[in-house]
Amino acid sequence: MDSQHDSPTIGVGMVGYAFMGRAHSHAWRTVACAFDLPRRPVMAALAGRERAALEEAARRQLWAATDTDWRALIARPDVQLVDICTPGSSHAEIAIAALEAGKHVLCEKPLANTVEEAEAMAAAAAEASRRGVRSMVGFSYRRTPALALARRLIADGRLGSLRHVRAQYLQDWIVDPEFPLVWRLQREHAGSGALGDLGAHIVDLAQYLVGEPLTGVSALTETFVRERPLPAASSGLAAVADGTAPRGPVTVDDAALFTGRFPGGAIASFEATRVAAGRKNALRIEINGDRGSIAFDLERLNELDFHDHTEASETAGFRRILVTEPDHPYLEGWWPPGHGLGYDHTFVHQVRDLLWAIDEGRDPEPSFADGLRVQRVLAAVEHSAANGSAWTPVVHESAAQGDPPPASGTDAPSSGTDARSSGTDDPVAVAP
């Protein structure tokens, strides 16, 4: 191809246009500027429920057409890939309809609101995969270059046998008890609270970095503020209520704290909260092995701390790797060394990897089966917390729901991310 303009195209239709909608729109718009692609994405159509807001979003985010019904969007002949950026309560219905219509799917996390929904989605994805239709769940932090490098170091054995996984995801946007009752605080829309919103990310990351699914958990959850004013308007993590608004019950957790075990022997701790005053988006993960350690903080996302315990003790210690070199994962598309990347770049990397997987005829990671593995851990956490923190196994089923084996190829064909699968072939089920 002489230029990206001459390359074949793939029509994208997106559902939802607020926080994640904007992040994904940016990614679809930008990806061809940064990376070689097998097919250039065309932003064909945007779906939402309210005509005026939808038209305004399509104009700003540069979508060519609009539909107020997501079913009409799926049916469009110029849409070959459906990108789902709505709350969890709608993921299963939209994703399954799109897959059945033969459209590739990118679905935001958590995959669903319940294990049952996630099982149905994983089954639909496995069936679609047999027809060459691909699906991916949007655990975007896997595409942070520093975390992709961490995975490469672990897969290469640089940390040796893993002992500890220490993961936190800390935010503070609902510290104020007068912050309104947005959809993220309502079980029927969000499935769970900090657990599904933030905990899902760190569970996926831990399972991705370690290369195994958790085998069991012991958990505490807490809802500190049990009633909040109903919102006048909301989008993403922002909302307003007028002073006279009636109040409604918060039906999800504000915070979740749990321990877990990996089959290879590592033990893990997880903390997900939206009431850690002063912490804005502090996703931190540290992994210790018998040959070394890595540590990462999303608030310093261009950096990975690495300690090589095999070095002479006199000079050994954590070193700060500035993950901006051309041979670091995904960096070949971006700026000269030291000219750091941001939150938005992870979404660009996500759609790049999805487009290559579609072209190469393989299932991308994280797959819906990976999303189901996370969902089973979330359900086990809730089960444990409701039962006095009782140890709750996360049961591995044999390939039920037509779960396909993890992809054997790399999701990042030229970025240097490694090709190791994210876990076992088996999905994870919650013990009754």
Positions in the binding site for ligand NAD (CB under 6 A) = 15-21, 48-49, 70, 85-88, 90, 108-109, 138, 140, 197, 235-236
d(CA 368, CA 138): 10
Which residue lies nearer to ligand NAD by CB, 293 or 375?
A: 375
Report, in Å, the least distance between residue 49 CB and ligand NAD.
5
Q: Which residues contact 80 (CB under 8 A, 6 or more apart)?
A: 10, 11, 12, 103, 104
Are 84 and 74 in contact, with CB atoms under 8 Å apart? Answer: no
Name the minimum Å distance from CB 170 to ligand NAD: 14
* Residue whose entry in the numeric block shows the structure tokens 């990671």: 365
Q: Locate 341 and state its tokens.
A: 């990347």
The DSSP H or E segment spanning 288 is strand 282-289
Cβ nearer to ligand NAD, comparing 290 with 299: 299
CB of 388 vs ligand NAD, minimal distance in Å: 29
Of residues 49 and 60, the one with the C-beta less far from ligand NAD: 49
Instruction: State the nearest-atom distance from the C-beta of 311 to ligand NAD, in Å.
Output: 35
Query: What gap in Å lies between CA 328 and CA 144, rounded to an integer?
Result: 11
Rounded Cα distance between 264 and 261, Å, is: 8
Q: Return the SS3 of 241.
A: coil
Provide the minimum distance between the beta carbon of 329 and ligand NAD in the complex, in angstroms, as a whole number. Answer: 18
* Residues facing residue 56 across a β-bridge: none
Residues 124 and 96: beta-carbon distance below 8 Å: yes
Q: How far is the CB of 261 from ligand NAD (least distance, A)?
A: 26
Q: In angstroms, what is the minimal distance from the CB of 93 to ligand NAD?
A: 8
Based on CB atoms, which residue is closest to ligand NAD, 68 or 310?
68
- Give min distance, CB of 17 to ligand NAD, in A: 5
Tokens representing 260 are 């877990």
Long-range contacts of 409-413 (CB under 8 A, 24+ apart): 409/357, 409/360, 409/362, 411/353, 411/356, 411/357, 411/364, 411/365, 412/148, 412/329, 412/330, 412/349, 412/352, 412/353, 412/356, 413/356, 413/360
For ligand NAD, the closer CB: 89 or 392:
89
* Residue whose C-alpha is closest to residue 60's, from 8, 25, 104: 25
- Rank residues 175 and 238 by Cβ distance to ligand NAD and give the closer one: 238
Residue nearest to ligand NAD (CB): 18
CB proximity list for 178: less than 8 A, separation 6 or greater: 228, 229, 241
Is the Cβ of residue 205 or residue 321 nearer to ligand NAD in the bound state?
205
Residue 287 corresponds to which tokens in the numbers above? 């992994």
Instruction: Please identify, using beta-carbon distances, which residue of 67 and 153 lies nearer to ligand NAD.
Output: 67
**Rounded distance, CA 184 to CA 335, Å?**
36
Please, how many CA atoms are within 13 Å of residue 331, restricted to the half-sphere of its CB?
A: 22
| Smallest gap from residue 402 Cβ to ligand NAD (A) | 24
Report residue 321 as tokens: 């790797």
Q: Which is nearer to ligand NAD, 140 or 293 (CB)?
A: 140
